[in-house]
Chains A and B, each alone.
Chain A
Amino acid sequence: MKIGVFICHCGENISRTVDCPRVAHFCEGLPGVEYSIDYKYMCSDPGQKMIKDAIHEHKLDAIVVGSCSPNMHERTFRNAAVSAGINPFLVEIANLREHCSWVHDDVEAATEKAIELVRMAIEKVKRDKPLTKIKVPVTKRVLVIGGGIAGIQAALDVANAGYEVVLVEREPSIGGHMSQLSETFPTLDCSQCILTPRMVEVYQHPKIKLLTYSEVVKVEGFIGNFKATIKKKARHINEDLCSGCGLCITKCPTKKKAYNSFEEDLAFRPAIYVPFPQAVPNIPVIDETVCMYYKNGKCGMCVKVCDREAIDFEQKDTMLVADIGAIIVATGYKLYNIDKKTFDSKYKGYGEYGYGKYRDVIDGLQFERIASASGPTAGEIKRPSDGKEPKKIVFIQCVGSRDPSKGISYCSKICCMYTAKHAMLYKHKVHDGEAYVFYMDIRAGGKMYDEFVRRAIEEDQVKYIRGRVSRIYEENGKYIVKGEDTIAGVPVEIDADLVVLATAMIPHDNAPTLAQTIGIPYDRHGFFNEAHPKLRPVESTTAGVFLAGACQSPKDIPESVSMASAAASKAMILFASDTLEREPVVAKVNEDLCAGCFYCKKVCPFGAIEVKDITDVNGIVYKEVAYINQGVCQGCGTCTATCLSKSIELAGFNNEEIFAEIAAL
């Protein structure tokens, strides 16, 4: 093998501390090195031409470039090599800049080290094998998980580009939290007015298959070739027959048997229900836990009134399987546990605020419902306990957020804005009312956001108090809010009629389960991890799985929508070609050596390893070996280190290559 060595000065960046000509000269004498030279800028056009010419002239088989980090110019030099007819994987980079010249002062020591680094690269390149990119076909269909605003936006974008979409929503209707909101900041647009047309568009779109009241239970496969199993829960309504007239709902005798979760438990609903009047699809669901028929086999009122015979008590959960090319995860958030019943150990709850104890201490989403024209109070501000109009209302920000002692260290980002909105909505409806806001800091970054908060303070006279609340207790029908004004340095006590807690946004309880189902990482809070916090914010580390909205971190509506469109465009980039190419750095099993212990299968983070039967000429299985699906393998090499018989090799980083590097030390 004839190797060419090219040492770059990087202007003076390398040559200032590394004696480049000496390195190049030293390499000339090494076995296998045919040609060795140094140059001021290897990455420049003349530098690349130099490499290409040398490859032709000296008939080089492989090259080593001593230059900056491979993260910088590996691609440049590989491309140069390819254009001169060398396989891109027969190019090795010795990192002489970031790992040598920039971090050492002593010319002698740095030059010595540079020589060793180049020698290591030479030894590795001698053992490198030419590799070709792997081609896999692409199924041009997207699975969107979650039908909130992010999921809706992503589904519509992909569908409008002409690709098929399967939109899976866990609840009986799409719409998510946005459908619960009264008005949106900073424009005070009616939330449902802008959302419901989108929901209908999704329902009617010929390219979108909408599966509500369904959950993704299994995802197999890999980028471009996923297979998703979706559980469609039994609604006990035949969706094809139901016309959505709603007669069954009005006639159901279990009028107020269950809390209405869409109304954040501020209202009740019967056993057969649609979550809200604008629900999409407008098809009811029967709640088995409440329905009389499932309790004692009697009633059947809904069957009697339904002239289309759409009620089906015998309906069972069904499993659907879909071939999918890309997945967009948009499962959103929930609020910090105000769930009256239990406080789990991770989140400590807010007992001192009477959180879950007093009916008039509510959270942000509950206030949204109270302020909503379609809510339980028809938009009149009334407190839940006695239905009276509160004359004094206290909003507390950062409940849960930025409070590590309660289990959450991050900022929920939207609470400053929605608290200002709540206070404004309140003042617009209760003109003689007083609104107080306890805050830590006002974080109103965004177009027209700070102006919005200023408007609440200046035009609507909302009183902002900088400080924390220590305690809330009930006294004569009032809630005494004890806090501190840290700017004036005085204790504050307010006798409020209603207290609204801006509780933290947290991921859904089953977010980690879903992450494990799909095979994407999540952080310690349960938010899904992006591939790179700056440069790949909508991709997960699993190829072909993209993230949108608040499942990745707390977000407001415009951010969720932009992220959804970004995720949709990422999926469409994938669909722009019929096959996709990926780096050939994947593991491969030597089937002769494999003993079939399958330790590799256990450690593989991606489930890329399968069991393969080896048969003799008569078709009888005599051996089971590991088989690595090259489409799924991401090339981490954990299996190679685990393999007892050393029968797995990671292309580009096999043991022989690494040993050669060690040997060159």
Chain B
Amino acid sequence: MTQQKWEPKIVAFVCNWCTYAGADLAGTSRLKYPANTKIIRVMCSGGIDPVFILKAFERGADGVLVSGCHPNDCHYNAGNFHARRRWDLFHKLLDFVGIEKDRLQFSWISASEGKKFADVITKVTKDIMALGPFKAYQNMNSEFTIEFPELEAVALKEMLHEEEVSDGRA
């Protein structure tokens, strides 16, 4: 029973120019796809930090999709190439640490590919459904409490700031 009720949580990091617009087109074309995926818009897929993906998993996502413009279509010329390289390495790393490969997917969806967007979301949802809930990270989380959304970088910044002040006083 619980198995049937469970709905996966999927996060899609998409670029503003191609995939976000493709998702808009899926809407204007009234295509239907499962409601599990929530989109987080960034300006370019090149700006998607692997940490975003980790954080998403940490916050209970069962799957993550990264999507940008097609090669040579990037609004910023080359951002999507960086995204692809970064994703490829990170994907391998996730695989290495034992996270199922299908939990992190990648696609190129242009602004004119509303149908493809709907298809990709449907496929990803299906894949994640088949994999079931992603417990590994949550289990780990319960062992080590990680403060969220406080950031390492922010914390570090504050430390530095304090140091500077104390230097000044000395």
Chain A interface residues (CB < 8 Å from chain B): 69-71, 95, 97-100, 102-106, 109-110, 112-113, 116-117, 120, 519, 521, 523-524, 529, 541, 585, 590, 592-593, 603, 605-606, 634-638, 640-642, 645-647, 650, 653, 655-656, 658-663, 665
In the assembled complex, the CB of A629 is this many whole angstroms from the nearest CB of chain B, namely 15
Whether B156 pairs with A593 at a CB distance below 8 angstroms is yes
Q: Once the chains are docked, how many angstroms separate the CA of A299 from the CA of B155?
A: 78
Q: Is the CB of B40 within 8 A of A661?
A: yes
Told that A523-B72, A636-B76, A662-B11 touch, could you supply 12 new A-B pairs with CB distance under 8 A?
A: A71-B24, A97-B27, A104-B33, A109-B35, A592-B164, A593-B153, A605-B76, A636-B43, A637-B46, A641-B50, A641-B82, A655-B51
Taking CB atoms, residues of chain B closer than 8 Å to A529 are: 72
Give complex CA distance A112, B9 in Å.
12
Name 25 A/B residue pairs within 8 A (Cβ), A-sorted: A98-B23, A99-B27, A103-B26, A103-B30, A106-B35, A524-B72, A541-B75, A593-B157, A593-B160, A603-B78, A605-B78, A606-B76, A637-B42, A638-B47, A640-B49, A641-B86, A650-B47, A655-B151, A655-B153, A656-B154, A658-B52, A662-B55, A662-B59, A662-B61, A665-B9
The distance in angstroms between the C-alpha atoms of A637 and B82, with both chains bound, is 11
| Least CB separation from B38: chain A residue | A116
Q: Are B79 and A636 in contact (CB under 8 A)?
A: yes
Most chain-A Cβ atoms within 10 A of its Cβ — which of B26, B152, B153?
B153
CA distance A638 to B119 in the complex (A): 27
B60: CB under 8 A from chain A?
A: yes
Residues of A within 8 A of B83 (CB): 638
From residue B124, how far is it (CB to closest CB) to chain A in Å? 14
Q: Does B26 lie within 8 Å of A98, measured CB to CB?
A: yes
**CA A640 – CA B164 in complex, angstroms?**
24
A593 to B154, CA, bound (A): 11
A106 to B36, CA, bound (A): 12
- State the Cβ distance, B54 to closest chain A Cβ, in Å: 10
Complex Cα–Cα for A637 and B41 (A): 12
Contact B27 A102 (CB under 8 A): yes
Q: How many residues of B contact A (CB 8 A)?
A: 57
Residue of B nearest to A111 (CB): B35
A2 to B63, CA, bound (A): 33
A70 partner residues in chain B, CB cutoff 8 A: 41
Of A104, A642, A665, which contacts B56 at CB under 8 A?
Answer: A665
Instruction: Contact check, B40 vs A658: say whether CB atoms are below 8 A apart.
Output: yes
Which of B33, B55, B77, B161 is in CB contact (< 8 Å) with A103?
B33
Complex contact B49–A641 (CB within 8 A): yes
Choice from B11, B30, B77 contacting A605 with Cβ under 8 Å: B77
B149 on the interface (CB 8 Å rule)? Answer: yes
Residues of A within 8 A of B30 (CB): 102-103
A605 to B153, CA, bound (A): 25
B74 in contact (CB, < 8 A): yes
* B128 lies within 8 A of chain A by Cβ: no
Q: Which residue of B lies closest to A643 (CB)?
A: B49
Could you say which of A519, A636, A647, A658 has the most chain B C-beta atoms within 10 Å of its C-beta?
A636
Please tell me which one of the listed residues A99, A105, A665 contacts residue B11 in the complex, with CB atoms under 8 A apart: A665
CB-CB < 8 A to A95: which residues of B? 24, 39
Residues from chain A with a CB closer than 8 A to the CB of B153 are: 593, 645-647, 655
Question: How far is A53 from B160 in the complex, measured between Cα atoms in Å?
Answer: 43
Structural contact, B27 and A103, CB atoms closer than 8 A: yes
Interchain CA distance A637-B152 in the complex, whole Å? 19
Q: Which residues of A contact B72 (CB under 8 A)?
A: 521, 523-524, 529
Residues of B within 8 A of A (CB): 9, 11, 20-21, 23-28, 30-35, 38-44, 46-52, 55-56, 59-61, 72, 74-79, 82-83, 86, 118, 148-149, 151-154, 156-157, 160-161, 164
Of all chain B residues, which has the CB nearest A105? B32
Q: B82 contacts A655, CB within 8 Å?
A: no
> Cβ of B39 and Cβ of A113 under 8 Å apart?
no
B76 neighbours in A (Cβ, 8 Å): 541, 605-606, 634, 636, 638
Given contacts A103-B27, A655-B151, is CB(A635)–CB(B78) below 8 Å?
no
Q: Which residues of B contact A653 (CB under 8 A)?
A: 42-43, 47
User: Are A98 and B149 in touch, CB under 8 angstroms?
Assistant: no
Knowing A605-B79, A638-B79, A642-B82, the reply to whether A665 touches B44 (Cβ < 8 A) is no
Which residues of chain A are near B50, meaning CB under 8 Å?
Answer: 641
Closest-by-CB residue of A relative to B9 is: A665
A70 to B153, CA, bound (A): 30
Instruction: Give the docked Cα–Cα distance between A204 and B25 (Å).
Output: 51
Chain B residue at smallest Cβ distance from A101: B27
The 5 closest A-B pairs by CB, nearest first: A637-B47, A98-B27, A638-B46, A636-B44, A636-B76
Whole-angstrom CA separation of A657 from B73 in the bound complex: 27
Chain A min CB distance to B20 (Å): 8
Nearest chain-A residue to B23 (Cβ)?
Answer: A99
In the assembly, what is the distance between CA of A507 and CA of B71, in Å? 20
Closest A residue by C-beta to B154 = A656
Which residue of A is nearest B163, CB measured?
A: A592
Contact A641 B35 (CB under 8 A): no
- On chain B, the residues within 8 Å of A638 by CB distance are 44, 46-47, 76, 78-79, 82-83
Min Cβ gap B76→A in Å is 4
> Across the interface, which residues of B come within 8 angstroms of A104, CB to CB?
32-35
Question: Nearest chain-A residue to B54 (Cβ)?
Answer: A662
Residues of B within 8 A of A116 (CB): 38
Please judge, given known A-B contacts A98-B27, A662-B11, A665-B56, whether A117 and B43 are in contact too, CB under 8 Å: no
Given A69-B24, A658-B42, CB of A665 within 8 Å of CB of B60: yes
Contact A71:B21 (CB < 8 A) given known A97-B27, A102-B28, A593-B156 = yes
What B residues does A658 contact at CB under 8 A? 40, 42, 52
